[in-house]
Amino acid sequence: MKDADCLYCRNPVTASKHHLRKRHLRFAIYYKDSAIGKFSIPCYCSDGGHGRSHWHCPMCAKILQRTKDFKIHITNHGVEMTDKSTVELQPTMVLSENQQTDNEDKTPGNKSACQKCGIFFTTTSNLRRHERLQHGQDQQPMLCVDAKNAIYVTPKDLHGPRVPIHIRKSFTLQILLCELEECWDFMKALAQSGNPGKECRHLVRTNHAQHYVPPPPLSISSLEEMSHKHLLSASEKHACQEMNSRACLEGVDCVYPIFWGKHDLSERCVYFSVYTDLKDKWCQFGRTRVSFDTKSGSWKCLCEHKRIPCIHKRLSMWWLFQEHPKLLQNPLDVHAERVDVLEEVVMDKMSPDGDDLC
């Protein structure tokens, strides 16, 4: 395009490499379409109106004004959002490297660059604030726990205990649901104001969700071992077997473990997404959340306020006993009616011939 006007600007501007890098390429959005690396750049042509930057959808004729809306829109076309470092576009990568070199040459020595988008900031605090506000959503893990029903788990909040919540998102099934009422109200208000495609912050994270990885299945032999060690009553053992069989018939995982420690978050609590075979306020998508505190040995489940026998904690304990028995420092909840069971477990552990739980 040497000596030609830029096709992406309203006013005549020579389409030099410097102009393209500074005005357009530095703000490019990268994605993969059918495993082919591509990118889109902001445009300033007359189609956008008022001379502001806008985005042309490469799949349809729609024009979008906001970058966030454009990302959501092209994701609905089935593309996968990526970082520019993962896109195999050699000419583009060369331009990006040249752009970075030019910026470094023109920038005073004390400025810091964002690793995600390359924007420079004069202070570290401004850089951290930018990373938290603009890229904080991408840093939160998003795991698929049920590929059949398109159910995911992600931390509810950006700070404090990363308590997971369930969401459902599937364009094939035409489902966009978050189990938090505040998110329902947020999306409902936006739909009434003429923006029905807007998603809550948890649903947006599915753009960076990890592929479904099935956990180790529950083994009957480990359940028999728990029963032999008096960690389960006969009725609890039967209930666990029955619930696991129902989940297998549905083609889903009965227990899906969530270890945030693998994502550089706190390792104290281990969470589980557990199949319930129910649809209620505490298990809207047929799954509930169970948590296990590895320091105190306490278990919690969302169904406790319903005053029903909690089989979900026993199912989670079954999986943990099978895969990570050393984490079970105090696997049982202490109840008066089960003191005899606890005494048997203690005697079994103290016996020279007894098997150690860990």
The Cα diameter of the chain in Å comes to: 89
Band (pLDDT 50/70/90 cuts) for residue 291 is: very high
Give the amino acid at 132. Answer: R
Structure tokens at 57: 């959808």
Co-location of 340 and 253 in the same domain: yes
Residue 97 has pLDDT above 70, yes or no: no
Co-location of 253 and 275 in the same domain: yes
Task: Identify how many contiguous H helices and E strands the chain contains and give both numbers.
Answer: 10, 15
**Range with the lowest mean pLDDT among 209-223, 299-313, 343-357?**
343-357
Co-location of 133 and 201 in the same domain: no
Residue 92 lies in a domain: yes
Determine which helix (DSSP H) or strand (DSSP E) holds 345, and give its type and residue range: helix 339-350
H/E/C letters for each residue in 44-94?
ECHHHCCCCCEEECCCCCCEECCHHHHHHHHHHCCCEECCHHHCCCHHHHH
Residue 283 lies in a domain: yes
78: burial class by Cβ within 10 Å (0-12, 13-18, 19+)?
A: exposed
Co-location of 149 and 133 in the same domain: no
Chain centroid, CA 116 distance in Å: 18
313-329: average pLDDT: 91
Q: What is the mean pLDDT of the chain?
A: 78
Residue 232 lies in a domain: yes
What local confidence, expressed as pLDDT, does residue 328 receive?
Answer: 83
Nearest 5°: phi and psi at 278? -135, 160
Which tens digits make up the pLDDT trace of 222-272?
Answer: 999 999 999 889 999 999 999 999 999 999 999 999 998 877 777 889 999
Determine which helix (DSSP H) or strand (DSSP E) holds 269, and give its type and residue range: strand 269-275
Output 132 or 143, whichever has higher pLDDT.
Answer: 143
Co-location of 37 and 114 in the same domain: no
The neighbour count for residue 30, using CB atoms within 10 Å, is 19
- Number of domains forming the structure of the chain: 4
Co-location of 111 and 159 in the same domain: no
Co-location of 167 and 226 in the same domain: no
Co-location of 96 and 123 in the same domain: no
Co-location of 102 and 112 in the same domain: no
Residue 103 has pLDDT above 50, yes or no: no
Output 46 or 149, whichever has higher pLDDT.
Answer: 149
Give the amino acid at 315. Answer: L
Co-location of 114 and 147 in the same domain: no
**Range with the lowest mean pLDDT among 87-91, 137-141, 305-309?**
87-91
Contact indicator for 204, 72 with CB cutoff of 8 Å: yes
The span from the CA of 289 to the CA of 271, in Å, is 7
Range(s) of the domain holding residue 93:
1-106
35-45: average pLDDT: 85
Co-location of 58 and 93 in the same domain: yes
Chain centroid, CA 326 distance in Å: 27
Co-location of 50 and 116 in the same domain: no
C-alpha dist (Å) from residue 117 to 44, 84, 136:
20, 9, 13
- How does DSSP assign 235-254, residue by residue? HHHHHHHHHHHHHHHHTS-S
